[in-house]
Amino acid sequence: MKLEEKLEHSESLVGRSQSCVHDTLQANGKPRANGKAEVYEKQEANGKGDMLKKCLNLYTWQEIQRHNKEADQWLVIDRKVYNVTDWASKHPGGHRVLNHYAGEDATDAFRAMHLDLSIVQLYLKPLLIGELSPEEPSQEKNKNPQLVKDFRELRKTLETMDMFSANLGFFFLHLAQILILEVLAWQILRHFGSGWTVTILISFLLTVSQGLSADWWNYRHFQHHVKPNIYPKDPDIDVGPLFLIGDTQPVKYGKKKIKYIDYEKQHLYFYLGESPAATFLIVATCNIEQSFFNDWFTGHLNFQIEHQSLKKSAALWMDAYYE
């Protein structure tokens, strides 16, 4: 039997070569495994029984996690291993998003960020270099498999409830709002001329209507959604040296003896941190009684909770600083 499709790669699996070779046939017509790579077979639709075979290298997490640099990026999606090093600069969502998952399992982030998986698979196919060894878990060993399972079941439930389907009417109203505010800004400039008051008002209207740039979404907010609240991969929580947030950044600043302000009292500087207003904000961002106005005004952020304990971070900084 002739091997129709072959995938080769020079990397080793725990020091052993994982090259794809021709398999010999057993008496029953099935290919004999070579012990180095799994062989995938697909019956052709013509019914002749011809086999299309593709050899895939097998990798352990130890091997995959070595490829976690910007110049050498592997990641795992549905147990398949992809080399995205050269593709990263072409990625529509920005190269940093891929780099954040180099050496890791990116299955859930991949599914969350791509609406039509069938289209994306066309780009993934040439990047495929192998798959996880059968004895390896689907995620890195430091991840909680039960937590991953629970979140996937939650997502499946929300998909069943049709919660991820876009409401075209809602986005049409957003577009109408943008056009109205754009026209209003030009009319104000036409009738009242230039001036500080007019300029400030127009700047506010144009900011509300146009929102943030595509560059901002690609290079900042996408990173936030694939690695939320993970320093330093989430740029939205990197507000140092003004404030230190999370568990890692305070320790980093403390060990380096960095003290731009008295971080011990940072929760007081951020005056909303421990005030009744903060409680109101947290409750408001979890308003389960949704309304049309609240959805429009917040851009659906009324369903999002992002809260960091500045007081806890301050304690971590103190321990490292005065160590």
pLDDT in tens, 216-226: 777 788 888 88
User: How is the chain split into domains, by residue range?
Assistant: 12-59, 63-160, 166-228, 239-323
Do 145 and 139 touch, CB atoms closer than 8 A? yes
Q: State residue 303's pLDDT score.
A: 59
pLDDT in tens, 191-225: 888 788 888 888 877 776 677 777 777 778 888 88
pLDDT in tens, 110-136: 998 888 888 898 899 999 999 999 999
Q: What are phi and psi of 81, to 5 degrees?
A: -100, 130
Is the pLDDT at 295 greater than 70? The verdict is: no
Nearest alpha-carbon partner for 86 in 77, 100, 78, 74: 74
**CATH fold for domain 63-160:** Flavocytochrome B2; Chain A, domain 1 (3.10.120)
Mean of pLDDT over the chain: 75
Number of Cα atoms under 13 Å in the Cβ half of residue 119: 4
User: Residue 305 in 3-state DSSP?
Assistant: coil
Distance between CA atoms of residues 105 and 188, nearest Å: 52
